[in-house]
Chain A
Amino acid sequence: MSAALAVLWKDLLSEWRSRDRVISMLLFSLLVVVVLHFALPPDAGSTLRAGTAGLLWVAYVFAAVLGMNRSFALELENEALSGLALAPADRGYVYLGKAAASFVLLAAVQAATAFAFALAFDVALLPVAARFAGIAALGGLGLSAIGTLFAAVAVRTRQREVMLPLLLLPVLVPLLLGAVRATAALLDGDGIGAPLRLLAVSDAIYLIVSFVLFDFVLDE
């Protein structure tokens, strides 16, 4: 378990030094919000609630992809990934550390983007902020969970920038459905129980599958 904390500490410290991951993730998702604002009709915030919820999550997914790609790209410098493979630690814990670090950074970006999104589309997020944070956290958890596994694969292929979204999206649909429906329902004042359950189930499956399979991805 200390290995997981060590990896988490190392990733966050490394990020604090350069801050390049968080900045690029944040700028990118803010840009997406701005572009979407122009792409949609002016009163989208009130009429296309479900639609705008979906777009927010699209921004989140792309920001997450950016972040996780970078997370493993850093491990490839000086083959640090092999260094992790050689450690006597249980590799599942190494995985948890990396996923946790991605989750933390993504959460920061999610918060900032939600704020920008509420402003841009004049959506009342504040009254439902707590529950929205819960949905965002659950979504971010699943994203980080399965994204970390796939990023470890994608970053060692030839088309690494394109590879991660290609691997991720077909498998991410349940999470997206749950997160978008929950967000839309929240904004519409409907019940969020059902989509939240889907989110939770997806998260559990992603975590378990990734925890078990990460061992094979770290091997040479």
Chain B
Amino acid sequence: MTLAIAARGLEKRFGRVHALRGIDLEVPRGTTLAVLGPNGAGKSTLLRLLAGLSRASAGSLLVGEADPARARASDRRRVRAAIGYLGHATFLYPDLTARENLLFAARLHGVADARARADALLAQQGLEGAADRLARSFSRGMAQRLAIARSLVHDPAIVLLDEPFTGLDPAAGAALELELRRMHQEGRTLVLVTHELGRARGLADAAIVLARGRVVHRAATLAELDPLALEAGFRRGLERTA
């Protein structure tokens, strides 16, 4: 399977409102896709569909090797084991320490040596010092780092990130960028929803621009990821789908 994610004609309706429609997507394994677009375009909805948190109304979707929301239960579990998701919320328990949060996540995901894994992740994110502090005492940047660690606890091949740079100061943002670069080097497939074009250009192999629930522009090469080209493409796409 060279495609980590394959979607055809993906649609998401809430009642009769089309949040997403006609989404075609192919993300080859090991590549990074940036998802751009204005607010309300459906970027978060798309990511939730990919994660299996939401069920598509129509169209086909394969993440890993199965549909994350509509396949058989056992297949869905296999898909979930291959996906790491970092949403707007951190999924952390405030009354547990950083280490306990990771321990729980590891055990929940059936990771073999949970304690070792938790410690390794804490070290990787530079959180050993705060390992025994309650998550509720963490700053935004630290909580984000812990959330990233949590999303990686089961060593997922596919990582979905929804605006991970939000609320991070420049230093933390730069650290996160390095982090994402490392994940990419480890061969993971990344889908990154972001407003930070500068960072995305440094990380992404391809980009799609969403507006009003549709893909209005695609960029598949580095040249096409140039800001001017992207903006021109975005404008053209908007007019085309108006």
A binds B: yes
Q: Which residues of A contact B (CB under 8 A)?
A: 2-3, 5-7, 9-10, 13-14, 17-18, 74, 77-80, 82-90, 94, 215, 219-220
| A219-B55, A220-B53 as given contacts; A84 in contact with B93, CB under 8 Å | no
Residue in B51, B54, B108 whose beta carbon sits within 8 Å of that of A3 in the complex: B108
Contact B94 A10 (CB under 8 A): no
Contacts of B55 on A, CB cut-off 8 Å?
219
Interface hits, B86-108 → A, CB 8 Å = 87-96, 100, 104-105, 107-108
Q: Would you call A80 and B92 a contact (CB within 8 A)? A: yes
Query: Which residues of B have CB within 8 Å of A80?
Result: 91-93
Most buried by B among A10, A14, A79, A82: A10
Do B92 and A78 touch across chains, with their CB atoms under 8 A apart?
A: yes
Q: Find B93's partner among A2, A74, A86 (CB 8 Å cutoff).
A: A74
Asked whether, in the complex, the Cβ of A86 is within 8 Å of the Cβ of B104, the reply is no
Select B95's contact among A5, A6, A7, A17, beta carbons within 8 Å. A17
- A6's partner among B51, B53, B108 (CB-CB below 8 A) is B108
Given A78-B92, A79-B91, A220-B48, A2:B100 Cβ within 8 A: no
A161 to chain B: closest CB distance in Å?
Answer: 21
21 contacts between A and B (CB under 8 A): A2-B107, A9-B104, A9-B107, A10-B100, A10-B104, A14-B95, A14-B96, A74-B93, A78-B89, A79-B90, A80-B91, A82-B91, A83-B91, A83-B150, A86-B53, A86-B80, A87-B108, A88-B77, A88-B109, A219-B55, A220-B54
Cα A14 to Cα B97 with chains together (Å): 10
Contacting pair A88 B91 (CB below 8 A):
no
A89 touching B53, Cβ below 8 Å: no
Contact with A along B69-89 (1 / 0, CB 8 A): 100010001101101010111
Q: B187 interface residue, CB < 8 Å from A?
A: no
State how many residues of chain B have any CB contact under 8 Å with chain A. Answer: 34
CA distance A37 to B191 in the complex (A): 62
- Write the residues of chain B forming the contact surface with A, with a CB cutoff of 8 angstroms: 48, 51-55, 69, 73, 77-78, 80-81, 83, 85, 87-96, 100, 104-105, 107-110, 134, 150, 154
- The dominant DSSP class at the A interface is helix
B73: which A residues are within 8 A, CB to CB? 90, 215
Question: What residues of chain A lie closer than 8 Å to B54, measured between beta carbons?
Answer: 220
Indicate if the CB atoms of A79 and B89 lie closer than 8 Å: yes
- The CA of A134 and the CA of B203, in the complex, are separated in Å by 61
Closest chain B residue, CB of each to CB of A6: B107
Measured CA separation A25–B96 after assembly (Å): 21
Q: Provide the residues of chain B in CB contact with A3, threshold 8 Å.
A: 107-108, 110
Interface pair B109/A87, CB less than 8 Å apart: yes
> Given the complex, which residues of A lie within 8 Å of B81, measured CB to CB?
88
A82 with B89: CB separation less than 8 A = yes
Q: Which residue of chain A is the closest to B97 with respect to CB atoms? A: A17
Pick from A9, A17, A78: contact of B91, CB below 8 A: A78
